Amino acid sequence: MKLKIKAGQNSAVLTADPAWKVRDLSSHLSGTLLDGQSITAYRYGFPSKSVAATSDISLQDAGIKANEQLVAETSSSGQSLADSTALNVANSITSSLSKSRGPTSEDKITTANDKIANVYIENVGEYLILRNVPDDNSCLFNAILYALTGSFKWPELNLRHIVAETIQGNPATYDEVVLGRPIDKYCEWIEKSESWGGAIELGILSDFLGVRINCFDVELGSMMVFQNEKDVPAKFIVLVYSGIHYDCFVTNSQLTETKTNDKGNWTTHELEILGSCDELVSLLQKRNYTTNTTTFRVRCLQCYEVLIGEMGASKHAESTGHYRFGEVN
């Protein structure tokens, strides 16, 4: 099977055997791709999963499929990747501030006071804007709500309960293998306010709400589409995933932090809007919008213990029942 591996600015296509161990991948990558760096982990899938580069698990057992794109997390033998990223971010900010705030044909990506990530969509005559969703463990659900209703809270539309009811009503589709746990346990879990949603929830809600959900993974630079393939919806929304958090894209005729007149769902101009989303995702990549879920540090907001990575947070939650986390800067 063919795999695409990205390491920093470099990429390579590799023909791999599903029986290979994950640790075999690095030995088959060229020195040009690694560029003096050693691989510590691979990220893949959506939502992103991570596996250590030294793991003895097979590619097949890790869930790595043909034509998968993997992002190699690396450590440098020279200048640190953090320093390099910081330099790129600083250059990007300096460049944007030195240019006119109005859209030009040379540089459509702009910022207002360096706070509002946006792209001007010329054919639509509006700005595409990244709207931040509250970081309260319900960001996926709130991003969908805001895109559809313009509000982060809509009591009449309990999305968690909709997911649970759909799963309970379709046990053949959403069985224990798909859910990763017994159906009743999963439904009990997803209705808790501290539980994070993912691809299962996006698929269910897209079908229930009759809307196409286009979701960009910033680190992978790819887009996943969730929709009813038998009854393709006319309406669409666009979410953006950072590694641990979901935000949404909106359009507005005014470039402002005030959310008045935001529009987060559309039935026309999909190609133009998605093209501008792709441009804005590229900007977010340069600004280090993503979170490395293997090495980022989080603090438990219930006992204040500092934990390393998604795995550390998951183990802590399982052992203590604590589910409220905040990222440590």
Same domain, 175 and 106: yes
Tell me the residue type at 269: H
Distances from the Cα of 287 to the Cα of 117, 119, 128, 271, 327, angstroms: 10, 15, 17, 25, 17
Same domain, 194 and 167: yes
Same domain, 237 and 108: yes
pLDDT of 265 above 90: yes
Same domain, 171 and 304: no
**Per-residue pLDDT tens digits for 292-325:** 555 566 777 777 777 776 667 777 887 887 777 7
Same domain, 22 and 131: no
Same domain, 317 and 281: no
Average pLDDT over all residues of the chain: 79
pLDDT given at position 103: 39
**Structural domain contains residue 163:** yes
Lowest mean pLDDT among 102-106, 168-172, 184-188, 243-247: 102-106
- Residues 112/245/81/224 CA torsion (nearest 10 deg): -100
pLDDT given at position 26: 77
In whole angstroms, what is the distance from residue 320 CA to residue 298 CA?
15
Sign, CA dihedral 154-157-163-164, equals positive
Number of domains in the chain: 3
pLDDT given at position 281: 92
pLDDT given at position 85: 33
Same domain, 29 and 140: no
User: Which H or E run includes 146?
Assistant: helix 139-149
**Structural domain contains residue 16:** yes
Report residue 270 as tokens.
């999909």
**Structural domain contains residue 46:** yes
**Structural domain contains residue 86:** no
CATH classification of the domain holding 180 = 3.90.70.80
Same domain, 55 and 95: no
Range(s) of the domain holding residue 197: 91-286
**Structural domain contains residue 292:** no
**Structural domain contains residue 244:** yes
**Which of 31, 52, 56 shows the shortest CA–CA distance to 43?**
52
**Structural domain contains residue 207:** yes
∠29-32-37 over CA atoms, to 5°?
80
Mean predicted confidence (pLDDT) in 24-32: 71
Highest-confidence segment of 45-49, 214-218, 325-329: 214-218
pLDDT given at position 83: 35
The residue among 78, 111, 141 that closes a domain is 78
Same domain, 129 and 189: yes
Residue 88 confidence class, pLDDT cut points 50, 70, 90: very low
pLDDT of 62 above 50: yes
**Which of 160, 119, 156, 157 shows the shortest CA–CA distance to 139?**
160
Distances from the Cα of 275 to the Cα of 17, 75, 217, angstroms: 35, 32, 15
pLDDT of 327 above 90: no
Lowest mean pLDDT among 108-122, 225-239, 244-258: 108-122
CATH classification of the domain holding 42 = 3.10.20.90
Q: Are 101 and 34 in contact (CB under 8 A)?
A: no
The residue among 57, 78, 99 that closes a domain is 78
Same domain, 108 and 190: yes
Other C-beta atoms closer than 10 Å to the C-beta of 18 total 13
pLDDT given at position 216: 95
Same domain, 56 and 138: no
**Structural domain contains residue 84:** no
Same domain, 281 and 301: no
Q: Are 216 and 239 in contact (CB under 8 A)?
A: yes
List of E strands, the chain: 2-7, 10-15, 37-44, 49-52, 69-76, 109-110, 118-121, 126-131, 212-217, 222-226, 236-241, 246-252, 297-300, 306-308, 325-327
**Per-residue pLDDT tens digits for 133-179:** 887 888 999 999 999 999 887 777 899 999 999 999 999 999 988 88
